[in-house]
């Protein structure tokens, strides 16, 4: 990709500042850190605490309220509209990432005007970038997964990881740590991209250091960095030392992200996710739950230690929804719950040394009954597998062994589960620092709390980043059309007389006259409506280029 021409740099410098001088000085806090355990309900935290000997979790002292998690259309939220809510302040629909809903059916959720349906909504991370703050994302899933994507992308389909990856790369996020390298590479190079673009090369061209293990990450002392530590998701913390010791822990990634981002004199915004609490809950795997709830708590300690020393940082912890309907007590305890000893819950759990995902790696494809019994005895302390349990393990689909193994350990403890899906209960709110929110709040209030802490007006940010291209360019006498000659790489073409400007979809690039310039936001196609949204800066740059 061509770098900025000198004339573009000079023209961009002449644009009206995005925020008035002194705006940052008035912000209540300098930094905001989010640490999120995806899919964690109160029971998850309780079980992890008992597993820890009953000792309080670091996050326990931060509990200050609760969050209502429902979406615009359902009592029980998908992760995508949940992340949209706490990143943009708008409840949305299932699978929607960073865009306004098409329908609202829940009581109290205001309907959306027709012209705003599917419109991108500005995120807190994007607003922090406009303030000149450093921004970062950390996750143990692929970084393109719903929750980190909610802060960094805009699409109606949370599963379009290729498009999400492209938007994240071209958003110029300062620090990114997690999994998902396959969505940065073309198919020809072992990745999943079908548009032919090598986003690792793009990152390097843009001045990023690209690292792939904990040693490389530790060596980074400054500057912009992308760390991709797995082709897809990273390991559960209990499994990591055995199977992927080269991967950094969530706490290590959090610490390094804070170290790098805090070098920005204007402050920073950081989102951290313990992603696989959710995945373990879907599988009803209590060992996976405990593993990554404790990993969340270690990451929270890192954030909290920094905030206590810094004095200018708001730390928020919250989840997007419950998952699994996990309970301490099940049908076997109906008559004995009031005499339930500590050991009934914890003793079977303490025998397990790996998650269900780790057990699949140890089995290594050998699903003979003798090997299954050997592995479950050695790694789970289970010597009395039933014939049905052996069969369930043998029939488990590749990548889903935790769905077979999780119930084995749950039955030997006193843990109950009601579902393999999400649940709709209110969840804990954790907060530390200036102006922390308290009480029972909506998930959308979290976006307002983050924005308010940083002195951001999300509506104003939205007005800068997402204007309808056809209307905005029509105001200067230009026309627009979507060029799909390369279907995998559509481009918005703006024309006026003999002048032409191009804005590739899902990128921050403006091209004109053989040169290119990077904007402070993305060109986004709302595929359901065909509308294209651009930063207001795109029009200003087009005019400056002679359009």
**Domains of the chain from N-terminus onward:** 24-326+420-454 (3.40.720.10), 340-414 (1.10.60.40)
- Catalytic option among 79, 147, 281, 506: 79
What the block records as the tokens of 224 is 């912009």
List, as one string, the DSSP characters of 433-479.
STT---EEEEHHHHHHHHHHHHT--HHHHHHHH-EEHHHHHHTTT-E
Q: Where are the alpha helices (DSSP H) in 342-381?
A: 342-350, 356-363, 369-380
CA 127 from centroid of its chain's CA atoms: 17
CA dihedral 81, 422, 67, 174 (to 10 degrees): -50
Distances (CA, A) of 376 to 88, 362, 400, 461, 463: 45, 10, 16, 54, 57
Contact 275, 141 (CB under 8 A): yes
Residue 178 CA to residue 227 CA, distance in Å, equals: 6
Q: How many C-beta atoms lie closer than 10 Å to residue 123's C-beta?
A: 32
Angle of helix 250-261 versus helix 286-310 axis, rounded to 10: 20
Contact 282, 420 (CB under 8 A): yes
Q: How many C-beta atoms lie closer than 10 Å to residue 56's C-beta?
A: 10
Half-sphere exposure (Cβ direction) of 15: Cα atoms closer than 13 Å = 22
Q: What are phi and psi of 431, to 5 degrees?
A: -155, 145
Per-residue pLDDT tens, the chain, 547 aa: give them: 333 433 343 334 333 333 333 333 344 799 999 999 999 999 999 999 999 999 999 999 999 999 999 999 999 999 999 999 999 999 999 999 999 999 999 999 999 999 999 999 999 999 999 999 999 999 999 999 999 999 999 999 999 999 999 999 999 999 999 999 999 999 999 999 999 999 999 999 999 999 999 999 999 999 999 999 999 999 999 999 999 999 999 999 999 999 999 999 999 999 999 999 999 999 999 999 999 999 999 999 999 999 999 999 999 999 999 999 999 999 999 999 999 999 999 999 999 999 999 999 999 999 999 999 999 999 999 999 999 999 999 999 999 999 999 999 999 999 999 999 999 999 999 999 998 999 999 999 999 999 999 999 999 999 999 999 999 999 999 999 999 999 999 999 999 999 999 999 999 999 998 899 999 999 999 999 999 999 999 999 999 888 8
Distances (CA, A) of 355 to 36, 145, 319, 495, 547: 20, 21, 21, 57, 59
Contact 319, 38 (CB under 8 A): yes
**Cβ neighbourhood burial of 397 (10 Å; 0-12, 13-18, 19+):** exposed
CA 455 from centroid of its chain's CA atoms: 23
Distances (CA, A) of 2 to 15, 179, 515: 22, 28, 7
Residue 141 CA to residue 228 CA, distance in Å, equals: 11
At residue 514, the pLDDT reads: 85
Q: How many C-beta atoms lie closer than 10 Å to residue 479's C-beta?
A: 11
Residue 178 CA to residue 248 CA, distance in Å, equals: 9
Contact 503, 541 (CB under 8 A): no
- Contact partners, residue 343, CB within 8 Å, separation at least 6: none
Residue 149 CA to residue 320 CA, distance in Å, equals: 13
Contact 160, 144 (CB under 8 A): no
Examine the residue annotation and report whether 147 is marked as an active-site residue of this protein: no
């Amino acid at each position: 990709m061509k770098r900025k021409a000198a004339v573009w740099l000079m023209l961009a410098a002449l644009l009206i500042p995005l925020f008035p001088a002194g705006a940052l000085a008035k912000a209540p806090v300098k930094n905001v850190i989010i640490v999120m355990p995806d899919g964690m309900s109160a029971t998850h935290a309780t079980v992890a605490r008992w597993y820890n000997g009953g000792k309080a979790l670091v996050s326990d002292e931060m509990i200050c309220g609760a969050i209502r998690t429902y979406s615009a259309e359902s009592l029980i939220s998908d992760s995508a509209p949940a992340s949209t809510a706490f990143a943009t302040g708008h409840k949305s629909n299932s699978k929607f990432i960073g865009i306004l809903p098409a329908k609202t059916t829940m009581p109290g959720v205001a309907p959306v005007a027709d012209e705003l349906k599917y419109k991108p909504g500005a995120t807190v991370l994007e607003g922090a970038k406009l303030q000149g703050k450093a921004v970062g994302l950390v996750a143990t899933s692929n970084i393109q997964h719903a929750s980190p994507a909610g802060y960094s992308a805009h699409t109606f389909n949370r599963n379009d990881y290729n498009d999400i990856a492209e938007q994240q790369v071209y958003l110029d996020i300062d620090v990114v740590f997690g999994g998902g390298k396959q969505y940065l590479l073309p198919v020809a190079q072992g990745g999943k991209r079908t548009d032919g673009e090598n986003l690792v090369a793009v990152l390097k061209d843009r001045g990023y250091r690209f690292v792939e293990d904990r040693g490389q990450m530790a060596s980074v002392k400054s500057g912009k960095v992308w760390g991709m530590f797995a082709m897809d998701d990273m390991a559960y913390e209990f499994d990591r030392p055995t199977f992927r010791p080269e991967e950094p822990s969530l706490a290590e990634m959090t610490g390094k992200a804070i170290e790098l981002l805090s070098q920005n004199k204007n402050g920073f915004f950081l989102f951290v996710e313990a992603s696989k609490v959710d995945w373990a809950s879907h599988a009803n795997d209590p060992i996976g739950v405990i593993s990554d709830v404790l990993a969340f708590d270690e990451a929270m300690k890192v954030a909290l230690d920094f905030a206590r020393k810094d004095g200018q940082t708001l730390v928020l912890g919250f989840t997007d929804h419950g998952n699994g309907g996990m309970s301490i007590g099940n049908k076997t305890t109906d008559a004995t719950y009031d005499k339930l000893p500590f050991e009934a819950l914890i003793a079977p759990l303490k025998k397990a040394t790996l998650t269900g995902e780790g057990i699949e790696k140890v089995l290594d494809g050998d699903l003979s009954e003798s090997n299954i019994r050997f592995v479950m005895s050695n790694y789970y302390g289970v010597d009395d597998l039933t014939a049905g349990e052996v069969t369930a393990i043998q029939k488990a689909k590749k990548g889903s062994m935790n769905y077979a193994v999780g119930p084995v350990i749950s039955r030997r403890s006193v843990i109950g589960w009601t579902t393999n899906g999400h649940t709709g209960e209110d969840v804990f709110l954790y907060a530390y620092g200036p102006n922390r929110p308290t009480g029972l709040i909506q998930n959308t209030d979290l976006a307002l709390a983050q924005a308010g802490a940083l002195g951001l007006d999300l509506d104003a940010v939205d007005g800068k980043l997402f204007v309808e291209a056809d209307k905005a360019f029509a105001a200067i006498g230009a026309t627009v059309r979507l060029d799909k000659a390369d279907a995998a790489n559509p481009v918005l073409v703006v024309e006026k007389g003999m002048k032409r400007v191009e804005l590739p979809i899902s990128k921050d690039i403006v091209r004109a006259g053989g040169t290119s310039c990077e904007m402070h936001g993305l060109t986004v196609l709302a595929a359901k409506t065909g509308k294209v949204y651009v930063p207001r800066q795109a029009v200003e740059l087009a005019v400056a280029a002679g359009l």
